[in-house]
Amino acid sequence: MRADCARCAGLCCVAPAFARSADFAVDKPAGQPCRNLATDFRCGIHPQLRQKGFPGCTVFDCFGAGQQVTQVTYPTGNWRTAPQRAGEMFEVFAVMRHLHELLWYLAEALTLAPDAPLAAELAAAREHTAARTAGTPADLLALDVGELRQRVNGLLLRASEQARARHGRPGPDRRGADLIGADLRGADLRAASLRGAYLIGADLRQADLRGADLIGADLRGADLRGTDLRDAIFLVQAQLDAARGDRTTRLSPALAHPAHWGALPLAPVRRGHTGRDRRTRPTSGHR
């Protein structure tokens, strides 16, 4: 479930549209190659993406869907060599990314040590979802992704509730809350539900989020200096890459401190003036 750009055909640089904003320096229509995409499908400004105004590219994660589409679904051609199928490939990529993201969350849920009945359901859902990734383009485009997400989300929610219950106290329920620019310094958010919460530009310095469910939480520009995120549930690397922090931010071993932490100014973000567009929100859609 890890992206391997060397085995992809730059699908994330072509398929989606993005709007000029704090995340992207230019407008780009869907299906049009980014101006920075080279002929070898590599990004021509990859080491300077943030400096060039493309931080949104640095936080995108396809969870390995790109190489699956390039190497398995379409093993004999890509959008350049078979332009007549380019539109179909881009649609398939969007579906595949949903599937791979769900596979990542299902695998993570199984590490939370759910009870036996739930573990069996999670394993079955993972097997079912994995089988869908091997389908033909027609199979993938016919898939009801919304229905699958809904079923899987119910399982993920149960796994989260079981894991958070082990903290011995219910954490605050801020599911889907608008916490843009909120002052949450030092807040006790252990075992909290922050599923799908808007935490853009929030001040979470020294906050305790151990065991908190952060699936789909928007952490763009959030200040995580000194924040304790050990054992946070469903926290993905892309969320950290979109946030701000430093070496005092405590993480679980599977996650890494982004290279840019400490290199950027940590200016306060005022509510309503984040410069961000929710349309570009890197969310999983889980609430």
**Phi/psi at 203 (5° precision):** -95, 100
Is the separation of the CB atoms in 45 and 57 below 8 Å? no
pLDDT digits (tens, 9 = 90+) for 212-230: 999 999 999 999 999 999 9
- The mean pLDDT of the chain is 91
Mean pLDDT, range 103-111, rounded to an integer: 98
The tokens describing 277, both together, are: 């567009």
- Would you say residue 234 has pLDDT above 70? yes
Is the separation of the CB atoms in 198 and 178 below 8 Å? yes
pLDDT digits (tens, 9 = 90+) for 117-169: 999 999 999 999 999 999 999 999 999 999 999 999 999 999 999 999 998 88
pTM: 0.89
Q: Tell me the domains of the chain and their CATH numbers.
A: 5-165 (no CATH), 170-287 (2.160.20.80)
DSSP the chain: ----GGGS-SGGGTSS-B-SSSS-SS-B-TTS--TTB-TTS-BTTGGGTTTTT-HHHHT---TTHHHHIIIIISTT--TTT-GGGHHHHHHHHHHHHHHHHHHHHHHHHHTT---HHHHHHHHHHHHHHHHHHTS-HHHHHH--HHHHHHHHHHHHHHHHHHHHHTTSSPPPB-TT-B-TT-B-TT-B-TT-B-TT-B-TT-B-TT-B-TT-B-TT-B-TT-B-TT-B-TT-BT--HHHHHHSB--TTSB--TTS---TTTTTS------TT-----GGG-------
Scan for tokens 């080491």, then name that residue: 47
Give the model's confidence band at 285: pLDDT under 50 very low, under 70 low, under 90 confident, else very high.
low
d(CA 119, CA 139): 28
Contacts of 115 (CB under 8 A, 6+ apart): 162
Mean pLDDT, range 32-51, rounded to an integer: 94
- Number of Cβ within 10 Å of residue 277's Cβ equals 15
- Would you say residue 266 has pLDDT above 80? no
Mean pLDDT, range 98-105, rounded to an integer: 98
